Structure 1
Amino acid sequence: MQLAPRPIAALAVVGALSLLAAGCSAGGDDPTPSPTSTATASASPTPTAVETGGSSTPSTGGDDDGSDDVPTAFPGSGQTSQPDTDPSDFPATAVVTFAGWDAGSKTLQAGGLVSGTTDTSGTCTFAATKSGVTRTLTSAAQASASSVNCAQVSFPSSQVSTGTWSITLKYTVGSKSTTSEPMTAEVP
């Protein structure tokens, strides 16, 4: 089973939440939207009126207090307007989200994600280890709203013997990588 990427659904949710937040922040007790007009900047210091939510506020039309809204990254996007403090650190964390035996396909399956990055140029490598024996499989990195999903892998029964296997996920981008804590799974 391969997980489908969901960037369109994530963008739809973000858009809906943005519209909801914009509607909630309009102010006033009247639930019906009111038209909003803004004044254009002029070279003269003559005050102009800016109508917002039914009240008029004087404005000089200039940028005198520096409180204008500055676009920033959407929370949870993994992007920041601040520079990285140490570019040698890999700013991501790999996690095995599930690992278990599938009786129908007779495979040991695992999946995971990498939080803290949306860079899908890396490689997802799952390792299953038991008694000094290690099996590895790679999977595709798929983008999501705030992380990278590593597609599910399936170790066939011919490669994994009965017992407890330890599954880890390593995500590598160039010379940097992050490895998850192990998750155990039983093979009957």
Structure 2
Amino acid sequence: MAGYHVPPLERLVDKFESLPGVGHKSAQRIAYAVLNMDKADAESFAQAIIDAHEQIHYCSVCCNLTDGDLCPVCRDESRDRSVICVVEDPRDVFALERTNEFHATYHVLHGAISPLGGIGPDQLKIKELLRRVQDGTVQEVIMATNPTVEGEATAMYISRLLKPLGIRVTRLAYGIPVGGDLEYADEVTLSRAIEGRQEL
């Protein structure tokens, strides 16, 4: 119906559509789902957003998200403190933790160096990483930044800062995903797979 407007609904759709990965149709579906909630559920939903915004901040050690001074990984005494895995985003920590294979610590940069995007080293949590390696406990830093131009540049920049300190710097291996076909892999992925090959 032309000219049919419900301003509060339009504002709600606009807010959901402003989220990454949410298109207009999805935003509409979410908005209608919210409208179908009873008042208590709607208030609880809104309160969860407010609580997350007010209570979540950076871990004082690794800069991951937490609601305490330390994140659960940094609080865990069983973690190997001699190894730090450096990632771009808190979501990368969750992805690596799902594997149940990594039992050391993390450091979250909150981005990657991107001159075109106006992001330099000073906007990332690199100084905090350098402070962490000063006490001599850290033996290895695994660079697990994304396999993009920005991720590679960030890994190389941090590597140049750490190597003079006598710290071993390694790069997460990238390659063909399990179940993937070689014919569909791009050249960069294939070259990474060859570099990261292992003995059988």
| TM-score with structure 1 setting the length | 0.22
The structure where strand makes up a greater share of residues is 1
Q: Which has the higher helix share?
A: 2
